[in-house]
Amino acid sequence: MRETPYGPVYDNILQSIGKTPMVKVSALDTGPCELYLKLESSNPGGSIKDRIGIAMIEAAEEAGKIEPGGTIIEATAGNTGLALALVAAQKGYKIIIVVPDKMAQEKIFHLKALGADVRLTRSDVGKGHPEYYQDVAARLAEETGAFYVNQFSNEANPQAHEDMTGPEIYGQLDGDVDAIIAGVGSGGTISGLSHFFGKKSPDTEIILADPEGSILADFVNKGAPPNAVGSWLVEGIGEDFIPDVTDLSHVKKAYDITDKESFEAARELLRKEGILGGSSSGTILAAALKYCREQKEKKRVVAFVCDRGEKYLSKMFNDYWMYDQGFLKRPPKDDLTDLIS
């Protein structure tokens, strides 16, 4: 790889993972704060998960858990699958992705286009059922001797954020970071950042953005999960359990964000700041704006755009979908202006 004043020249696409740019929020009301967004959407696979895709595969290589040309298995239809399939294709590994059958066709097409062997399994069964997607992946790994990545208990996941994401944020802002707002899917990002900043800059506050219905916000704010788990439409964050790699002990505060608030924030992010992010970026931005507006003095705050918004164009960016979900008010019948504009 070669750095030039005009931009880097990479020897292969995997070198372009990480070192993502930051953009300062300029049009939205950030109270007394400066808010910076780290554009994880500019990773080659389109999300923050590229970082752990390469890190988990390289950790397995080092530990001798995969042979050249060997097979990797993961249970996911999300960004982790896309990241692992991208890295596997570049490194010459075969990859099996076990996908619950409710997942969007686009994701399945994208995984297949990357060369992944996609196995569909039932979405209507829970943990412990033989057809639950994580159990299918674990069984296939045992039967075939393939390497089961399992991001929820793979230590290389938070480690990647401690080694890469944390130092990048610290370096990009010359060590002057008052708060970081992140979501939790596997918990890799928030745990890795907690560990890095806990050692390097312990005054930096780590704040959780959680979709309403997920158990994590209560766990942070009240010390215990709620009695019931709800459901939410935001993709990639929020949990009904606490994954093994999730360490919330450094997280100072959590914001519960509704789907409506998340989608509205993502739509504003595009219209006002020109950034096309996914739904979890909306949740994180909504929480970051709340945090910023609550402050009495100027703080430097960092939040994430975790993935690209293209896969949500027919959902939260589509007014008709928003009307159907009840998140936007449908215009009166005789007013068809928005149909022709």
Footprint on this chain of ligand PMP (rule: CB under 6 A): 47-49, 78-79, 183-189, 235-237, 278, 280, 306-307
Pick 204 or 214: Cβ nearer ligand PMP? 214
Count Cβ atoms below 10 Å from residue 267 Cβ, excluding itself: 19
Closer Cβ to ligand PMP, 70 or 278, answer by number: 278
Which of left, alpha, beta for 99 (phi over 0: left; psi -120 to 50: alpha)? beta
The amino acid present at 93, given as its one-letter code, is Y
Shortest separation between residue 249's beta carbon and ligand PMP, angstroms: 15
Per DSSP, the residues of 232-298 read ---SS---SS--TT---TTEEEEEEE-HHHHHHHHHHHHHHH---B-HHHHHHHHHHHHHHHH-SS-
Shortest distance (Å) from residue 238 CB to ligand PMP: 9
Cα 53 to Cα 57: distance, rounded to the nearest angstrom: 6
Per-residue tokens: 58 = 């390289």
Tell me if residue 252 is catalytic: no
Q: How far is CA 318 from the centre of its chain?
A: 21
Nearest-angstrom CA–CA distance, 93 and 91: 6
**Catalytic pick among 19, 24, 38, 49:** 49
**Residue 44 or 188 having the CB closest to ligand PMP:** 188
- Give the count of beta carbons closer than 10 Å to the beta carbon of residue 222: 10
162 versus 273: smaller Cβ distance to ligand PMP: 162
Q: Which residues are catalytic?
A: 49
